[in-house]
Structure 1
Amino acid sequence: MSTQSFTQAQKLTILKSAATVGIKKAAKIAGVHYTTVYDWRNKLKTLGEEGFLTYQPSRPGRGKKIISAQQEAAVLECWKSNPGFGPGQIRGQLRRAGITISTRSVRKLMQANGYRLQTKRSDKSSTQRFEASRPLELAQMDILEFFINKAKVYLILLIDDFSRFILGWRLLDQTSVDAVIGVISDAVARYGKMEELLTDRGFVFYSWRGINRFEKYLESERIDHTHARPHHPQTLGKVEACNRRIKQELIAQQPFPNLHEARGAIERWVDHFNYRRAHQGIGGFLVPAERFHGHAKEALSAMDKGFDITGQDAISSFIERSVINLVMNPEGRLTLYLLGQPIDLGGR
Structure 2
Amino acid sequence: MGNRQFTQQQKLSILKAAEEVGVKESARVAGGHYVAVYEWRRQLDSLGEEAFLAKEVQRPGRGLKEVTAEQEQAIMLVWSQNSGYGPGQVRGQLRRQGTTISLRTIRKVMQANGYQAKSGGKEKPDVQRFEASRPLELAQMDILELYVNKAKIYLLVLLDDYSRFILGFRLVEQTSVDEVIALVQEAVSRYGKIEELLTDRGFVFYSWRGINRFEKYLEHEGIDHTHARPHHPQTLGKVEALNKRIKLELFNQQQFSSLEQAFSGLAEWVEHYNTKRPHQGIGGFLVPAERFHGRAEAVLAQIAQHCDVTLGGPGIERSIVNLVLGADGRITLYVLGQPLEIQGVSHVANVEP
Residue type at the aligned position of 2:336: L
Q: Which residue of 2 aligns with 1:274?
A: 274
Distance 1:186 1:163 in 2: 18
Hey, what does 1:323 align to over in structure 2?
320
TM-score, normalised via structure 1 length: 0.95
Q: Indicate the SS of the match to 1:89.
A: helix
* C-alpha deviation, 1:309, in angstroms: 1.0
* Number of the residue aligned with 1:226: 226
Q: Secondary structure at the match of 2:48?
A: helix
List aligned pairs for 1:1-348, cutoff 5 A.
1-59=1-59, 64-121=64-121, 125-313=125-313, 316-317=314-315, 319-320=316-317, 322-347=319-344, 348=346
- 1:334 to partner: Cα distance: 2.3
Task: Give distance in 2, aligned partners of 1:322 and 1:84.
Answer: 29
In structure 1, C-alpha distance between the alignment counterparts of 2:184 and 2:60, rounded to whole Å:
54
1:327 corresponds to which letter in structure 2? V
Question: Paired residues, what number?
Answer: 345
Letter in 1 for 2:339: P
Gaps of 5+ in 1: none
Instruction: Specify the SS of the correspondent of 2:50.
Output: helix
Equivalent AA in structure 2 for residue 36 of structure 1: A
- Structure 1 position 110, deviation (Å): 1.1
Per-residue CA deviations over 1:84-137 (Å, capped at 9, x if unaligned) read: 211111111111111211221111111111111211247554410000001111
Q: Secondary structure at the match of 2:178?
A: helix
RMSD between aligned alpha carbons? 1.7
Seen in structure 2, the aligned counterparts of structure 1 residues 121 and 228 have a Cα distance that, compared at 3 Å, is farther
Counting aligned pairs with the same residue, the percent is 62
What CA distance in whole angstroms lies between the structure 2 residues aligned with 1:54 and 1:244? 44
Alpha-carbon separation, structure 2, partners of 1:344 and 1:13: 77
**For residue 111 of structure 1, what is the amino acid of its counterpart?**
Q
Q: Distance in 2 between matches of 1:71 and 1:187?
A: 41
Report which stretch shifted further, 114-123 or 232-241.
114-123
Distance 2:24 2:222 in 1: 62
Instruction: Output the CA distance in 2 between the equivalents of 1:310 and 1:239.
Output: 26
Q: Give the Cα separation in 2 of the matches to 1:326 and 1:184.
A: 18
Unaligned runs of 5+ residues in structure 2 are: 347-353
Deviation at 1:75, TM superposition (A): 1.4
* CA 1:60–1:291: 2 relative to 1, 3 Å: farther
Contact 1:98–1:308 under 8 Å retained in 2: yes
* The 10-residue stretch of structure 1 (123-132 or 260-269) with the greater mean CA deviation from structure 2: 123-132
Q: Letter of the aligned partner of 1:47 in structure 2?
A: L
1:178 deviates by 0.5
1:151–1:135 distance in 2 versus 1, CA, 3 Å: same
Q: In 1, are the aligned partners of 2:201 and 2:227 still within 8 Å (CA)?
A: yes
Q: TM-score, normalised by structure 2?
A: 0.94
Amino acid at match of 1:58: Q
Once structures 1 and 2 are overlaid, which stretch shifts more, 253-262 or 296-305? 253-262
